[in-house]
Amino acid sequence: MIIVLSLNTAIDRVLQVPLLTPGTVMRATETRSFAGGKGINVARNLLRLGEQVRVVGFLGGSAAAFIKERCAELGLEARWVDIAGETRTCVTVLDAASGGQTVLNEPGPLITPLEIERLLDALQASVSPGDLLCISGTAARGMPDSAYGHIVQRMKGVGVRVLVDAGGPGLLSAIEAGVWAVAPNEDELRSATKADAPVAEMARTVAGEVEIVLVTLGRDGCIAAVDGRLWRARAPQIHELNAVGSGDAFVAGFLSATAQGLEPMEAVRLAVACGASNALRYEPWIGSREEVESLRRQVEIENLALPA
Ligand SMILES: Nc1ncnc2c1ncn2[C@@H]1O[C@H](COP(=O)(O)OP(=O)(O)OP(=O)(O)O)[C@@H](O)[C@H]1O
Ligand SMILES: [Mg+2]
């Protein structure tokens, strides 16, 4: 089974206006709301890929009922830890005139040490040996920088492989704890390693401590360091509508293929296809199986010479 940690769950609210004019009152011509946050995005994509998924995360305040209902509609099994704070709402304003998007993200609730303990207990009770665990995005406010490393160590103890898609100190703590896989974008990897080196070299350095290193590069696909070898996967050329969430789709594709027993680079092929599929639409999720399969066939993988 694949377990997804959702530390920064959100209500995603999208409002469309004819012409975004700051400093004025505008009437939205279209509004939509759905359950969001990186963890939920990954979980939704996993469901679309036919996987069994369980979400573990924080939920609090009036948003909780809405999120629970949306998860039930999706058929998403979730184990929520109640918190005193209020789960956030993230607003995207779509400007019909330009097609541009303005995103307003709330900071998210502050989590108490007791709530963190409860989450760790809920996670421990939700996993079994052989499971895969996905941790995406920054930790919740109030969680220490070392939290991801701590979770990785705990999960190692029960035979659960962890993938972390994050940056900064959270990613660094996971790398230092010997996490199974990482999937940051280039900026996130740089923010964790503070390295100035070319991306392939950074990937190789991290591969000294991590079994699978995937560095996503937007429309340029990704670099992968696996089994002492370095690879480049080229993304299909598409008409990008909105690539926000492509990293979450990429992670879902990789984990789904891994759960199906595919080799890491075949899993990368599906990951890249899912990232591209997400970018084909405004919403942060992948398209049909046929669409993903057609994109998968267009992904090109080449072996790169290891940097000296
Ligand atoms: N315009 C695009 N065309 C084709 N493939 C894309 C495009 N954008 C993203 N992808 C695919 O999706 C993957 C992940 O995208 P990206 O590197 O932008 O992730 P990210 O920065 O983590 O995004 P987010 O955090 O918003 O989910 C890329 O490695 C690539 O394979
Ligand atoms: Mg990302």
Write the CATH number for 126.
3.40.1190.20
For 256-303, what is each residue's pLDDT tens digit?
999 999 999 999 999 999 999 999 999 999 999 999 999 999 999 999
Nearest to 298 by CA among 275, 260, 272: 272
Answer whether residue 253 is part of any domain.
yes
Report CA(163)–ligand 2 centroid distance (Å): 13
Answer whether residue 19 is part of any domain.
no
Pull the structure tokens for residue 75.
């058929």
For 117-165, what is each residue's pLDDT tens digit?
999 999 999 999 999 999 999 999 999 999 999 999 999 999 999 999 9
Answer whether residue 264 is part of any domain.
yes
Answer whether residue 247 is part of any domain.
yes
Output the pLDDT for position 307.
57
Query: Which ligand 1 atom sits closest to the C-alpha of 238?
Result: 3
For residue 117, what are the CA distances in angstroms to 60, 76, 102, 251?
16, 24, 36, 26
Query: In this model, does residue 75 exceed pLDDT 70?
Result: yes
Output the pLDDT for position 305.
80
Of the CA atoms within 13 Å of residue 203, those in its CB half-sphere come to: 30
CB of 136 shorter than 6 A to ligand 1: no
Answer whether residue 16 is part of any domain.
no
Range of the domain at 158: 37-83+110-304
CB of 115 shorter than 6 A to ligand 1: no
For 158-212, what is each residue's pLDDT tens digit?
999 999 999 999 999 999 999 999 999 999 999 999 889 999 999 999 999 999 9
Report CA(206)–ligand 2 centroid distance (Å): 18
Report CA(27)–ligand 2 centroid distance (Å): 31
Answer whether residue 261 is part of any domain.
yes
Q: What is residue 266's three-state secondary structure?
A: helix
Q: Are strands 53-59 and 222-226 parallel, antiparallel or unpaired?
A: unpaired
Give dist(CA 228, CA 222) in Å, integer. 16
**What global pTM score does this model have?**
0.97
pLDDT band per the 50, 70, 90 thresholds, residue 306: low
Answer whether residue 27 is part of any domain.
no
Query: Which ligand 1 atom sits closest to the C-alpha of 284?
Result: 27
Query: In this model, does residue 308 exceed pLDDT 70?
Result: no
16 against 308, higher pLDDT: 16
Q: What angle do CA 255, 54, 69 make, to 5 degrees?
A: 125
For 37-69, what is each residue's pLDDT tens digit?
999 999 999 999 999 999 999 999 999 999 999
Measured by CA distance, the residue closest to atom 17 of ligand 1 is 218
Answer whether residue 15 is part of any domain.
no
CB of 240 shorter than 6 A to ligand 1: yes
Percent of the chain with pLDDT over 70: 99
Measured by CA distance, the residue closest to atom 5 of ligand 1 is 276
Give the residue, out of 216, 241, 283, with the most ligand 1 atoms within 8 A of its beta carbon, to mutate for a pocket test.
Answer: 216
> Structurally, how many domains does the chain consist of?
1
Output the pLDDT for position 99.
87
CB of 46 shorter than 6 A to ligand 1: no
Rg, Å, the chain Cα set: 19
